[in-house]
């Protein structure tokens, strides 16, 4: 075989071998790069999901706290209003019940965690609170009928929660009891107790419980 042919064959084999090795190296580099990109993307997606879960949990806790605070504040103020109205305390008048402006959004955020009956409890309570505040907005300090109307409103609110134990909650010294004492007891109706305890649980829960 001529030497020139042998040289050509060797050159061709070298070129093919080099191309093959280059292709293999390029494939491995691309594979490693692709796997690394997938790993990075997966990590980013996981971190974003965890961040989203944390934000959802934070928002849920904030909304649950809004509802809990509104209801407990309404209980305190209703008790106080009734004492003022019942004992005709001089220089004291019934007061408006403060409600968070985002309470509607807060209640909606609880959909899926609370069942239909529990959601109904919340809407009923807010409905009565709105009625009290509507009457307070139109309150006439010279009208005995207005005093009686506010008294009835506050009684309706407390009876909705405590039923036949309505008078027992009025015996409590609101200066010495906590918000939780208003519902974590044996005088509140079971359904409302469970709803308020559930709100408490959401606020104190680890992140994975309600996301």
The number of beta carbons lying within 10 Å of the beta carbon of residue 111 is 10
d(CA 129, CA 137): 12
* Count of structural domains, the chain: 1
Residue-by-residue pLDDT tens, the chain, 211 positions: 555 555 665 565 666 666 677 667 777 777 777 777 777 777 777 777 777 778 888 889 999 999 999 999 999 999 998 988 887 655 667 788 999 999 999 999 999 899 999 999 999 999 999 999 999 888 777 777 888 899 999 999 999 999 999 999 998 888 888 989 999 999 999 999 999 999 999 988 775 555 5
Q: What is the pLDDT of residue 117?
A: 95
Buried b or exposed e, range 192-210, using 16+ CB within 10 angstroms:
bbbbbebbbebbeeeeeeb
Q: Is residue 17 part of a domain?
A: no
Identify the pLDDT of residue 197: 96
Query: Residues 6 or more apart from 181 whose CB is under 8 A from it?
Result: 172
Q: Is residue 102 part of a domain?
A: yes
pLDDT at 1 (0 to 100): 55
Structure-block tokens of residue 195: 């709803």
CA distance 206 to 54: 10
Q: At 105, list the tokens.
A: 């959004």
Work out the burial of residue 158: count CB atoms within 10 Å of its CB; fewer than 13 is exposed, 13-18 middle, 19 or more buried: buried
Residue 39 lies in a domain: no
pLDDT of residue 58: 87
Looking at residue 42, its pLDDT comes to 74
Nearest by Cα to 126 from 94, 160, 152, 150? 160
Q: Does residue 5 lie in a domain region?
A: no
Is 74 among the domain residues? yes
193, part of any domain:
yes
- Give me the residue label for tokens 């409600």: 99
Quote the pLDDT of residue 49: 79
Secondary structure (3-state) at 158? helix
Residue 57 CA to chain centroid, in angstroms? 7
Distance between CA 43 and CA 184 in Å, rounded? 43
Provide the pLDDT for residue 121. Answer: 96
pLDDT attached to residue 70: 96
Task: Specify the pLDDT at position 23.
Answer: 67
Residue 119 structure tokens: 């959601």
- 41 lies in a domain? no
- 30: in domain: no
Instruction: Work out the angle between the directed axes of helices 144-162 and 3-87 (0-180°, nearest 10).
Output: 130
- Read off the tokens for 156: 């309706």
8 token code pair: 């050509």
Residue span of the structural domain in which 196 resides: 53-209
**For the chain, first and last CA: distance in Å?**
78
Could you count the other beta carbons within 10 Å of the beta carbon of residue 16? 10
At 114, give phi and psi (nearest 5°).
-100, 145
């Amino acid at each position: 075989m001529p030497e020139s042919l042998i040289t050509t064959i060797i050159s061709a084999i070298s070129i093919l071998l080099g191309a093959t090795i280059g292709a293999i190296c390029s494939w491995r580099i691309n594979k490693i790069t692709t796997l690394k990109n997938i790993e990075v993307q997966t990590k980013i997606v996981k971190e974003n999901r965890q961040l989203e879960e944390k934000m959802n949990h934070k928002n849920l806790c904030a909304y649950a706290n809004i509802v809990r605070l509104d209801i407990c504040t309404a209980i305190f103020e209703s008790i106080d209003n009734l004492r003022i109205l019942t004992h005709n305390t001089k220089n004291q008048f019934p007061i408006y019940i403060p409600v968070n402006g985002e309470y509607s959004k807060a209640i909606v955020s609880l959909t899926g965690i609370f069942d239909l009956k529990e959601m109904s409890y919340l809407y009923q309570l807010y409905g009565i609170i709105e009625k009290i505040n509507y009457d307070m907005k139109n309150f006439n300090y010279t009208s005995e009928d207005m005093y009686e109307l506010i008294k009835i409103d506050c009684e309706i609110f407390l009876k909705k929660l405590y039923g036949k134990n309505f008078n027992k909650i009025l015996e409590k010294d609101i200066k010495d009891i906590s918000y939780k004492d208003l519902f974590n007891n044996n005088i509140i109706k079971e359904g409302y107790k469970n709803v308020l305890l559930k709100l408490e649980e959401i606020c104190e829960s680890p992140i994975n419980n309600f996301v």
